[in-house]
Structure 1
Amino acid sequence: MQKDHIPAILANLKIDALNDMQLASLEANKHHHDVILLSATGSGKTLAFLLPVLERLHVTKKTTQALIVVPSRELALQIEKVFRQMGTGYKITACYGGHLRETEENNLIEAPAVIVGTPGRLGDHIRRGNITVDTIETLVLDEFDKTLELGFQEEVSFIVESLPNVKRRQLTSATEAVEIPEFIKLEKPEKLNFLPEDGAPTERLTIKQVLSPENDKVETLFRLICHLGNRSTIVFCNHRESVERTSAMLSEKGILNTFYHGAMEQRDRDSALCKFRNGTVNVLVTTDLAARGLDIPHIRYIIHFHLPHTEDSFVHRNGRTARMEASGTAIVILSPDEKLMPYVPADIETITLPEKAVLPEKPKWVTLFIAAGKKDKVNKIDIVGFLSNKGKLKKEDIGLIEVKDFFAFVAVVRSKVGHTLEMIKQEKIKGKKVKIDLAR
């Protein structure tokens, strides 16, 4: 990559300029084979490692040249999306559990320049001979602290041992609290530490508390969400069962929300995140799975419904808000039997909730599920054309569209969705009858 390519990439990403951390990463990677980058969640680490990766790709080589290992499928998809938006001309493929292996195998037949994936699925492809390991010269471990946690160590070790010709390594993390194992084979790494001393820039992140009069905090959570209004909010629980129970109880009380955790089917996870991203729901109830890797802009509030088990977890949850230059608020709900964690200042503001809870207005959008995607040769332009021509929607009636391999989601103005569904129920997309309905 030549330096004059960077302005075009930034224009494609709608970014004005690289920040100090990204510039430092570019410079360090020019002079060092191995670089460790520590920087807060939301500070732009993805671009900070993708640009150096891009600098090392050779357009004449039609082989896989870089491998990016990540702890979650959502992070893999996010990196794939950013790389494609950069408009480099190079092919990238994401490999992760919950994705059809046959689809990935087809994508790997013509070797992508860059592969991004989770340890288990990457290890599986390497064992099956689907990835040509000899040509990979750049290895990235993104969120390496999470990737190296117990359960991934063995698989990551296998992957590293399978790459005989790696010349450069990049490791990134939003925390310093992990030792890097010897099997990574770092040699005199350059360490860039852009972490704020207290884990989050205080001028942008405000921490507050709400005192629940009862040990069962759902009623307090309900009143708090009513008080906050129609703002983008993530509610963190410690267990999957609690996530579903809390989401259901909020629904019963009239709060539109969706839930998200690791035991859900991939399509349901995609649907939940899409509805939260496109504004169909403003409340996402989730486990710590959503504390990393989800790049959802403009999240205003983080609510700790359950207290996090560790300071690290607290920092990562809070990292979903106050991203880049935006401000955000993290709110801890305390029952009578609970005390603030020792790493939270004792003098934080206590929110007093109004006696009367007023339900927020319903969001403007609803999400449609379309049972066709990239593999059916359906893209965003096809969907906009179909909804405009057959559903009689105006451009401003159509919101965010996300197209996956075999299905797609599209936000439509709530006031017109019933009429639109009626008009398109007998119509075809690209000559094919496709199921279209409200997303579950």
Structure 2
Amino acid sequence: MQHLNISTASILANLKIDALNPMQEASLIANTQYDNVILLSATGSGKTLAFMLPVLPLLDVTNKNTQALIIVPARELAQQIEDVFKQMGTGLKITSCYGGHKRETEENNLIEPPAIIVGTPGRLADHIRRGNITIDTITTLVLDEFDKSLELGFQDEVSFIISSLPSVEKRILTSATEAVEIPDFLGLTNAERLNYLPTEKDTANKLLIQKVVSADKDKIETLFKLICHLGNRSTIVFCNHRESVNRTSDFLAKQGISNEFYHGALEQQERDSALCKFRNGSTNVLVTTDLAARGLDIPNIRYIIHYHLPATEDVFVHRNGRTARMEASGTAILLLSSSEILPEFIDQGIEELMVPENSPLPEKPKWTTLFIAAGKKDKVNKIDIVGFLSNKGQLKKEDIGLIEVKDFFSFVAVRKNKVGEVLSLIRDERIKNKKVKIEVAK
């Protein structure tokens, strides 16, 4: 077996990283001593390098077949890992496979097997079934952010993939939460467990606080790069003024980031529409003032971005309280210009998150919100709306998402690829024997 002729120092230099963090160092050591390693660490803590570095010594440069498979829950993560590996400068080939990517392109990339394949469960399983992946030579398996794969319902596909790999000797599992149960089909016997999750007093909420430093006084370009880096995750961006909210939202939209804005100058219907779109997944970014810092019950918000620094500790706490709710994890990120100083009530030693210059635009949401000009006062309820869209709009149950019925109007999430057809079908139809205006929510 011939190993790669590249040092860790050279890889770090290629990545423009000064040194490994404690979690990455611990992962390197553990992976030399154990065949199975479970690494628990928060999103954005450097897990990609923590598992990539231990994988490299396991690769035989003379072997022209695929030797390592990395399973991830989302295309953005597959793209990120591929980008990081290429920046490492090993000279070895890596290919990413994920839904939304042309399968023909991936098949061409797999003709000459890459040393490493990274991809989402559904697409990897598809390639295995088609015989496009040389499964017999894969000896290293990584499941990155496996907790998210379970959340997204990929367990059957992951089980199929693993059952198709007869030669795996090394397994590395990463997760951002302790709560995830490790299925038996993973074969993680006698696994070494490394726990680097946040250990603050509020550990039940697992809130990670980070900072991003912008080279520019106007931080808006850095905000755009940060949102691209974070990917298609539910995010609230807090600004201190309404004018800043409008400007920031408009800029992000022009750059291709689907978002909604929310502040006190909006009419109630506009506010309801913005929050509904954010709740139901029609958009994953909400730009807002501190109006949204209290009282909003929106589950599964992954990131809080403090575009402007909070004026008081109370504001800081309430903004951050929108994420890491119940047992969920969350991250609050303070976006600083080079001249800004953290307030005294914020830990001065918080971790800095390095944002790449170029990250792909987040995947567009799969839902669109329809506005229905009828509500509770018109004796219209959720069951009426589901029945109407199913019978008259010919939608299946899975094509109808969250429904919110207000007094005089309602909102309903519909699969984006079904919207044009359903609007055409229901154009002349009635709800409760009444002709009602239905359109894409503004």
The offset of 1:437, in angstroms, is: 0.3
Q: Look up the equivalent residue of 1:309 and give its one-letter code.
A: A
Distance 1:218 1:200 in 2: 31
Q: Look up the equivalent residue of 1:268 and give its one-letter code.
A: E
8 Å CA contact 2:205–2:328 kept in 1: the answer is no
Distance 1:280 1:272 in 2: 10
Distance 1:370 1:399 in 2: 14
Cα distance 1:199–1:372, how it changes in 2: closer, same or farther (>3 A)? Answer: farther
Indicate the residue corresponding to 2:129 in structure 1. none
Indicate the residue corresponding to 2:382 in structure 1. 380
Superposed, 1:144-183 pairs within 5 Å as none
Q: Which runs of 5+ in 1 are unaligned?
A: 1-197
Cα distance 1:203–1:438, how it changes in 2: closer, same or farther (>3 A)? Answer: closer
2:276 counterpart (253, 274, 277)? 274
Q: Give CA deviations for 1:352-384 in whole Å, capped at 9, x if unaligned.
A: 111213101101100000000000011000100
If you compute each CA radius of gyration, which structure gives the higher value, 1 or 2?
A: 2
Superposed, 1:253-264 pairs within 5 Å as 253-264=255-266
Q: Look up the equivalent residue of 1:428 and give its one-letter code.
A: R
8 Å CA contact 2:371–2:440 kept in 1: the answer is yes
Query: Is 1:290 aligned to 2:295, yes or no?
Result: no
Indicate the residue corresponding to 2:429 in structure 1. 427
8 Å CA contact 1:302–1:331 kept in 2: the answer is yes
Q: Look up the equivalent residue of 1:389 and give its one-letter code.
A: N
2:420 counterpart (409, 418, 422)? 418
Q: Give CA deviations for 1:367-419 in whole Å, capped at 9, x if unaligned.
A: 00000000001100010010001111000000000000000000000011111
Distance 1:346 1:212 in 2: 17
1:367 counterpart (344, 366, 369)? 369
Count of matched residue positions in the alignment of Structure 1 and Structure 2: 244
Distance 1:380 1:202 in 2: 34
The offset of 1:423, in angstroms, is: 0.8
Distance 1:369 1:316 in 2: 31
Distance 1:261 1:251 in 2: 17
2:408 counterpart (381, 400, 406)? 406
Q: Look up the equivalent residue of 1:243 and give its one-letter code.
A: V
The offset of 1:227, in angstroms, is: 0.4
Distance 1:202 1:283 in 2: 25
Q: Secondary structure at the match of 2:332?
A: strand
The offset of 1:345, in angstroms, is: 1.5
Indicate the residue corresponding to 1:37 in structure 2. none
Query: Is 1:306 aligned to 2:308, yes or no?
Result: yes
8 Å CA contact 1:200–1:319 kept in 2: the answer is no
The offset of 1:200, in angstroms, is: 4.8
Indicate the residue corresponding to 1:347 in structure 2. 349
Indicate the residue corresponding to 1:83 in structure 2. none
Q: Secondary structure at the match of 2:339?
A: coil
Distance 1:202 1:338 in 2: 31
Report which stretch shifted further, 343-352 or 243-252.
Answer: 343-352
The offset of 1:347, in angstroms, is: 1.8
Superposed, 1:8-407 pairs within 5 Å as 200-201=202-203, 204-407=206-409
8 Å CA contact 1:200–1:315 kept in 2: the answer is no
Distance 1:298 1:199 in 2: 21
- Poorly superposed stretches of 4+, deviation over 6 Å: none
Q: Secondary structure at the match of 1:324?
A: coil
Q: Give CA deviations for 1:321-367 in whole Å, capped at 9, x if unaligned.
A: 11111111000000011011212222211111112131011011000
Q: Look up the equivalent residue of 2:228 and give its one-letter code.
A: C
The offset of 1:202, in angstroms, is: 7.8
The offset of 1:257, in angstroms, is: 0.3
Q: Look up the equivalent residue of 2:351 and give its one-letter code.
A: E
8 Å CA contact 1:233–1:302 kept in 2: the answer is yes
Q: Give CA deviations for 1:233-255 in whole Å, capped at 9, x if unaligned.
A: 00000001111110000000000
Distance 1:401 1:294 in 2: 17
Distance 1:390 1:203 in 2: 44
Distance 1:435 1:203 in 2: 43
8 Å CA contact 2:204–2:326 kept in 1: the answer is no
Cα RMSD for the two superposed structures: 1.5
Distance 2:417 2:241 in 1: 36
Q: Secondary structure at the match of 1:341?
A: coil
TM-score scaled by length of structure 1: 0.54
Q: Look up the equivalent residue of 1:223 and give its one-letter code.
A: K
Distance 1:315 1:199 in 2: 14
8 Å CA contact 2:236–2:303 kept in 1: the answer is yes
Distance 1:203 1:438 in 2: 36
Q: Secondary structure at the match of 1:425?
A: coil
Q: Secondary structure at the match of 1:375?
A: helix
Q: Look up the equivalent residue of 2:207 and give its one-letter code.
A: L
Distance 1:223 1:202 in 2: 30
TM-score scaled by length of structure 2: 0.54
8 Å CA contact 1:321–1:329 kept in 2: the answer is yes
